[in-house]
Amino acid sequence: MASGKWKTVASAGFGVVLLAGSAFADDALKLTELSPNGADACFGRVYDAAHLKAHPKQKVARIFFYYGHDPVSRPNEEPAANSDSSYNAFVATTVRGAKAPEWAGGWCNHESEDGKTGPIHCGMDCDRTLASLKVDDKGRLILTDVQPDLYLDAGSEEELGAAEYDRQALGKEDDNFRLDPMLAATCKAEFARIDPIDPALGPPLRERLKPDQAFCYGRDYDAAHLVAHPDQLTQSIRVFRGSVELASFASGGDAANWPDGADIAVTVTTRQKSAEVTQTYTCQGEADQWRCAASSKMSDFSCDIAQKEIFLKRGADGTMMLANPNSSLAIVDLCSKAADGKTKSDDKVYRLQPMPQSACAP
């Protein structure tokens, strides 16, 4: 979860699963075994070379467990109104040879009807298990029931095949971890290694682009670029919100949930035909990107194109990145069979510059 790469929700393509926001209200810490005073609690362990040599089937070299407010979230594109989550537990592990940790979040409670006694179970989305917990007499946290597919989708063993599943899954000895209590700042520093913020990217798009603000981003490719990229069809591209899109959001949008429900328009000309083709998309914030589904509003196509998607991300130095993983730009008729497959040309990722509104639409 929470990678800086373009990913789709259910696979390793584009988009990302939703990040958890603030974990829970300040007064909701109830597991006094983990946090006697109600403060955020951190436990961790870094295994030395001798331990790893003695346990060749253990992949995890570093592991940290954080109970408290979300240590992973960073300024992103999700609406502020929807940023809260019930997550109160977070695990970060770094396997041998990896440069950064992977992480998972869930929620922990006592396994009893009153929620105050019994073993502590930590669950995840889709009825999965994060871990079972107990604290020993020295204050160390014991993590058990850690699943090999902790960071993989349900059913991934069948989908990936045995060899690839074994490569991506945790090892056969990655369970029964005994973690030492540590300062909360230590866990926060570890989770910060997952996806470091790039200062060059600046504020997220939802802050940079306001609900009542028109904008225009685009790029015109010169002859030299097109010669160097013979498989690229796009000659000119614009991404914008003009008066029509602003009026649409003003009449039915909710500024508190911005950018959810925001309409954008994408205009493309190709080297085969000089006529502009425009497609409208309706967006929602998802982790560090806008996920935008093709819409029939103000478009040149009238078929059911809701599954055609593009993704927008902030780029360095004020640019905007547009990703087109499924031929969902209007470089072809989105209703045609030619639009059904993956993009095979160079028309996949665009780095767009801010332009005057006159370059797009009024």
Does a structural domain hold residue 355?
yes
Does a structural domain hold residue 14?
no
pLDDT score for 360: 93
Distance CA 58, CA 60 (A): 6
Whole-model pTM? Answer: 0.63
Q: What amino acid is encoded at 10 in this protein?
A: A
Q: In the numeric block, which tokens belong to residue 298?
A: 């103000």
pLDDT score for 228: 93
Q: Number of folded domains in the chain? A: 2
Distance CA 173, CA 112 (A): 29
Q: Are the CB atoms for 329 and 312 separated by under 8 Å? A: no
Does a structural domain hold residue 214?
yes
Distance CA 129, CA 221 (A): 50
33 and 171 both lie in a single domain: yes
pLDDT score for 240: 96
Q: pLDDT tens, position by position, for the chain (362 residues)?
A: 233 344 333 222 233 333 333 333 343 447 888 988 889 999 999 999 999 999 999 999 999 999 998 888 777 888 866 554 567 899 999 999 999 999 999 999 988 766 667 789 999 888 889 999 999 999 999 999 999 999 988 778 888 888 999 999 999 999 999 999 999 999 999 999 987 878 888 899 999 999 999 999 999 999 999 999 998 889 999 999 999 999 999 998 999 999 999 999 999 998 877 778 888 899 999 878 999 988 876 555 556 566 688 999 999 999 999 998 776 787 766 666 555 555 556 788 999 999 999 999 76
Q: Which domain holds residue 271?
A: 205-359
Domain boundary among 196, 217, 244: 196
Phi first, then psi: what are they for 28, rounded to 5°? -95, 0
